[in-house]
Structure 1
């Protein structure tokens, strides 16, 4: 396998950037629309959105695991086998998504109450969540579709599919929230309806693309089982993230509606930055997986170094943009003085973390492409237990507010950076072959 050119890397990364950035950009737009209703609906969206995001991002193995498996088959020349991974991942997505809907209706009330501390915020969050959760199967189908398409090094079509869905949501959101153009004024519920409508369009596009590939559509338990085995480590890794961010939201809610609203705004900006940087990680994942599938460990190592350098430079530029935009950006999402004041207390911490993220996300992509999920699981769990969770709960005990919460996130990111740099330098991840070795999955 020839070493990928810079043009090839950008050809994968730029459309992936569009896919990754589109949803958080829409969520920021959603926040801005709902924010005009006041701090309480915005806080309800923050808590409800966090729960739905927790459920969907917990299942990112449908995307990242599928890419790891499909890219190796693509690199080995087995194109039909790569697409077949997408078929089985889509079956998993539908089944798991329906289970998520049932779970939210069974325990959504107690969960929102626990996170928001009861009261009006919990009621607002639950009303939004009970509508928005019908998008869960659709979100997961889109994840599976992104996974196999990235694996065969096609990142442009997923961008078109995602933009089609989010374009519809962006039109419907202000219309339904504020009752524009003669539509009913549904307020916060309108945001949830708009989300589900757009997710339906995107999921339908991915399913249609899979059908056009004309590969066998029968479910295969053995393939799904292998995907779940790889996914197990990614799920445990995601659990560490969710435990941290749920704890952060719960503590922020104890500081009042203004604090949790400010936390939501900056967290969505952080997610935007993270997913923007992840565009190069997506390129790293699919190219490293293909190189290892083709038996070329040297190319995989060279890609790891080159993409990490690119990501770090990009992250420094992003940090500079947010430093310069300090006085302008927060006002795009709310005009509530209390919320703006809370955002100001954590803005510089947010900006300082971005260069660290440039290294972390690039090397995460390299190791995910290699199928090194067990190491990422262990590293993330350890860094969360040591670096993130203690400052979050100490913030509540000692009244450190959002500053303590975001300081914990900074420590977490620095520890993750040290872990993935060490692992990449060790070279233990460069295992070649069309399949991810069973020992790698279970080590």
Structure 2
């Protein structure tokens, strides 16, 4: 009789360990895909609002389109500043979900929504009388200025709704639901397009009709979100009343992310100012490159959003090992996504150039800038993922200080590009190379330290 083999030895244990890791990896893959794909769709749908408005208003005339461009820049900047409403709410709600306390999760979300409403009303009250001054600060022409003021003032009535949408989106993401935001975004875009056509041309309101159409669509989106959250609150017995202490807690959690966002906006503004000083061809190519870079960021940000929801849930469930494993898997996703996106940009460069412009001068400076974007996408993939992981962990104060450090490193180098004789490619090496690599270092050091792994339903 041949000798019996041991039932478990080093080989079998190793195989079991590999099998366990593969199983865990597949589970994380399913979670990431289930959250990231709908989130990507919702992110892409958001810029379509402005594209629809531009296409419809553009047929009214050049002054109207110019006015829309100025007002839209102000509105986009204003809304983006408050994106922390979504990020902070996602992390806080996901922790409560991990702790299996759905009533507290929805209560936390309601605090974020009340904060969003208060901030939206404050923005409306402050900016409305300042609309002409803000438009003039952008150097609007005498023909475009009245249209910009009209569009801006009407659109301000939609700001409270848009901030509520941000906060409510964070609630649903924290509840591991990214499908509803996708459906609402698609419905909102469709309603916006239809209302714009009807009010601009059918009713004859001109650019004011475009603004009112967008406001109505935004209010409709906010109403749908509130309906979903209110039904959840009633189902789980969560209070809908504003809680001063909870609202203050949301504001404190969001303040560091506001600093992070403002620092990032400062980086982009400095880059655009430097590009403008390099000449018309360079600023035109810079705008095209920045547009493409932003589009690529939507794909990577979708993984980051999945990271916020998943990491928050694991930490809320006191599962530190699960959070670390999910972080490692998402970093792998970030690298792979960055490589794929970079290759797509490299292959698509000959198609991108004629799509945006036929000017050979712009082509000459655009091609090297696109090469920089392509080569640095794997770095961007890891940066976005780790940013999402730390947001999901509620590590806002570190993110704020890290982004301020990035700004300090980036600003003098970028401002020195023209002095040193560099062109647009050199500027983009400072943006996609230096700035993103500095972010990678700060985020990687934090992720490796493990200090972000703070478990519990509430980060203390």
TM-score category of the 2 structures, normalised to the smaller one: 0.7 to 0.9
Q: Distance in 2 between matches of 1:354 and 1:39?
A: 36
| Structure 1: gaps of 5 or more residues | 438-443
Query: Shift in Å at residue 73 of structure 1?
Result: 0.6
- Residue of structure 2 aligned with 1:318, choices 336, 341, 352: 341
CA 1:41 to 1:352, structure 2 compared with 1: closer, same or farther past 3 Å?
A: farther
Hey, what does 1:278 align to over in structure 2? 301
- Residue of structure 1 aligned with 2:165, choices 139, 142, 157: 142
- Residue of structure 2 aligned with 1:198, choices 192, 214, 217: 217
Hey, what does 1:358 align to over in structure 2? 381
- Residue of structure 2 aligned with 1:51, choices 57, 74, 79: 74
Hey, what does 2:206 align to over in structure 1? 186
Asked whether the 8 Å contact 2:67–2:140 carries over to 1, the reply is no
Q: Distance in 2 between matches of 1:38 and 1:346?
A: 33
Hey, what does 2:428 align to over in structure 1? 406
Q: Is 2:394 aligned against 1:371?
A: yes
- Given the two structures, how large is their TM-score scaled by the length of structure 2? 0.82
Q: Distance in 2 between matches of 1:18 and 1:208?
A: 22
Query: Shift in Å at residue 36 of structure 1?
Result: 7.6
Asked whether the 8 Å contact 2:113–2:164 carries over to 1, the reply is yes
CA 1:102 to 1:224, structure 2 compared with 1: closer, same or farther past 3 Å?
A: same
Hey, what does 2:13 align to over in structure 1? none
Larger Rg: 2
SS in 1 for 2:332: helix
Query: Shift in Å at residue 190 of structure 1?
Result: 5.8
CA 1:315 to 1:230, structure 2 compared with 1: closer, same or farther past 3 Å?
A: same
Asked whether the 8 Å contact 1:32–1:332 carries over to 2, the reply is no
SS in 1 for 2:351: coil
CA 1:361 to 1:93, structure 2 compared with 1: closer, same or farther past 3 Å?
A: same
Q: Is 2:307 aligned against 1:287?
A: no
**Deviations 1:294-351 (Å, cap 9, x if unpaired)?**
1111111111110111122112212222232224346556778887777556433333
- Given the two structures, how large is their TM-score scaled by the length of structure 1? 0.85
CA 1:34 to 1:65, structure 2 compared with 1: closer, same or farther past 3 Å?
A: same
Hey, what does 2:154 align to over in structure 1? 131
SS in 2 for 1:325: helix
Cα RMSD (Å): 3.3
Asked whether the 8 Å contact 2:316–2:455 carries over to 1, the reply is yes
CA 1:342 to 1:96, structure 2 compared with 1: closer, same or farther past 3 Å?
A: farther
Hey, what does 1:440 align to over in structure 2? none
SS in 1 for 2:168: helix
SS in 2 for 1:147: helix
Q: Distance in 2 between matches of 1:402 and 1:324?
A: 21
Asked whether the 8 Å contact 1:71–1:286 carries over to 2, the reply is yes
Query: Shift in Å at residue 359 of structure 1?
Result: 0.6
Shifted more, 201-210 versus 340-349: the winner is 340-349
Shifted more, 18-27 versus 205-214: the winner is 18-27
Q: Distance in 2 between matches of 1:196 and 1:219?
A: 25
Shifted more, 119-128 versus 48-57: the winner is 119-128
Q: Is 2:192 aligned against 1:211?
A: no
Hey, what does 1:434 align to over in structure 2? 457
**Deviations 1:141-192 (Å, cap 9, x if unpaired)?**
1111111111111111111111110122244557777x5xx564836x6654
Paired residues in the alignment total 430
Hey, what does 2:252 align to over in structure 1? 229
